Copies of this chain bind each other. A is one copy, B any other.
Amino acid sequence: MAIEIERKFLVVGDAWRTAPPVFYSQGYLNRDKARTVRVRIAGEEAFLTIKGTSVGARRAEFEYPIPVWDARELLALCEQPLIEKNRRKILHEGFVWEVDEFLGENLGLVVAEIELPSEDSVFAKPDWVGEEVTEDARYFNSNLSCTPFNRW
């Protein structure tokens, strides 16, 4: 198990677009916050990920690589629709930002996440990083599946 400490922000402007995107397709075998089970295809790789209840920005996370072929079949078992997004990774002053440009019913939504070594880590924000939404449940990927951005 790992403890994931992640903060999430809205994105402004277009400067983040220069990084190359990787296409992600993901779905949920359970969207319950206490035991989230995610299937994800990330480019040429696939993962099964289980997360426990969030406490602020901290969350227990268990991740296992699985064959992409299995992941395709598992995505068909997931609650529909799936989440599709282009992810870009951008290094900024020693931290990697993951910028998710959502597609499908979440088109128009772009969020940036930073994974931190501790909850009080100090980090520099790039110019294109806006308002923090870490604890706003609407932005949880598990919720974007059932209540997508185009219905907000």
Contacts and interface: CB of A to CB of B under 8 A. Distances in A.
Contact of A64 (B30, B35, B64, B78): B64
A12 interface: no
A34 to B, nearest CB: 7
A135 interface: no
Interface residues of A, number: 20
B77 A50 contact: yes
A52 interface: yes
Contacts of A78: 35
Contacts of A30: 29-30, 32, 35, 37
Contact of A34 (B32, B37, B77): B77
Interface of A: 1, 29-30, 32, 34-35, 37, 48, 50, 52, 60, 62, 64, 66, 70, 73-74, 77-79
A62 B77 CA distance: 11
Given A30-B32, A48-B48, A60-B77, 9 more contacts: A29-B30, A29-B35, A30-B37, A35-B77, A37-B37, A48-B64, A60-B73, A62-B73, A64-B64
